[in-house]
Amino acid sequence: MAEGQRTSKLSGTDRAAVLLLTLGEENAAEVLRHMGPKEVQKVGSAMANMSNVGRDQVTEVLEQFSQSVQEQTALGVGSEDYIRTVMVEALGEDKAKGLMDRILLGSSTKGLEALKWMDARAVAELIRLEHPQIQAIVLSYLDNDHAAAVIGFLPERTRHDILLRIATLDGVQPAALQELDEILERQFTGNQNVQASTVGGIKAAADILNFVDSSIEAEVMEAIKDIDGELGQKIQDLMFVFDNLIDVDDRGIQALLREISSDTLILALKGADEAMKEKIFSNMSKRAAEMMRDDLENKGPVRLSEVEGAQKEILAVARRMSESGDIVLGGKGAEQFV
């Protein structure tokens, strides 16, 4: 972080990192214990990359935090709103929601939390022989990219069934969570009471499918639509696809272009329509746009799988930037503002 940079330009993650660095080792560690693996990695990386942090920057972060605290109601009265505000500010809406569920709904179990720190292949092996409903609940608790990686290691014949179950989950009853906890207890130590929690749903299924390989995505969607065409269409409508990038504002597109290579962009644009291409070209310098057009024209036929792979790679970068607050994604499944 450059000297003199104003904290108003920092992302929520950077401000959280500055705050944690001022708390001292024990207090910072206590805060991190309440975060999941992705949040720990995200904030930890920001802390590690902090350099030349001026006293005025630290002071401003602390003042902002203090002001946020003072604007809230007394402790124990409206504290949920306060916690939610702080978590969203530090982690982003999606990550904060999962953490709030664990904190406020008591949905955290030692077994489930342990799964979040495990390799995707290990999670798949652990749940491979369990009932599909149990598999669906487990995947709903994982981060979307983690769940997508796990699905890639599960048998092809079961993938669409699991996604269907995720899409149709409407809350999890205590008995189901208790069953899951007992299953995980065979692998991990500890057990605790559980309460009902809101997991799964159509959006969760769409978010997970956003991260799986294109070949798996197509296979799963086809199977789901064969079973329930209306549900399959609802899932597809909520998925964020490459063409939805056309709804990202120009500043966001420019920021995204700085994070991806020209080779990846050329491959991705081979499968894009003219409107999407113009969106990209209009956010380049005139010379860069002309060179990109020439490269596209001179690029011979490429496999569809290569095009889809490049588009997935760009979407992964876009989602990462969205989570860090660098860009705002629009399109399918996005919250509308008026």
The range of the structural domain enclosing residue 16 comes to 7-104
More confident residue, 324 or 99: 324
Using DSSP's 3-state secondary structure scheme, residue 130 falls into coil
Same domain, yes or no: 229 and 115: yes
Residue type (1 letter), 244: N
In this structure, what token pair is assigned to residue 100? 């709030």
Residue 94 has a pLDDT of 62
Number of domains in the chain: 3
State yes or no: pLDDT of 108 exceeds 70.
no
Domain end marker among 56, 82, 104:
104
**Percent of all residues in the chain with a pLDDT value above 90, rounded to a whole number:** 7
Q: Please list the residues that pair with 232 across neighbouring strands.
A: none
Q: What is the mean pLDDT of the chain?
A: 75
State yes or no: pLDDT of 194 exceeds 50.
no
Residue 120 belongs to a domain with what CATH number?
A: 1.10.220.30
Residue 75 has a pLDDT of 47
Q: Is 325 exposed, middle or buried (0-12, 13-18, 19+ CB in 10 A)?
A: middle
CA distance 46 to 11: 10
Residue 278 has a pLDDT of 92
Domain assignment present for residue 332? The answer is: no
pLDDT tens digit sequence for 199-252: 568 877 887 887 777 677 778 888 888 888 888 888 877 777 788 888 888 998
Q: Is 75 exposed, middle or buried (0-12, 13-18, 19+ CB in 10 A)?
A: exposed
Same domain, yes or no: 259 and 316: yes
Q: Considering only CA atoms, which of 195, 154, 190, 328 is closest in space to residue 256?
A: 328
The DSSP code for 247 is G
Same domain, yes or no: 219 and 265: no
Q: Please list the residues that pair with 197 across neighbouring strands.
A: 172
pLDDT tens digit sequence for 117-151: 788 888 888 888 888 888 888 888 888 888 888 99
Domain assignment present for residue 168? The answer is: yes
Model pTM score:
0.43
Residue type (1 letter), 163: L
State yes or no: pLDDT of 338 exceeds 50.
no
Same domain, yes or no: 123 and 145: yes
Same domain, yes or no: 170 and 248: no
Residue 109 has a pLDDT of 47
Domain assignment present for residue 330? The answer is: no
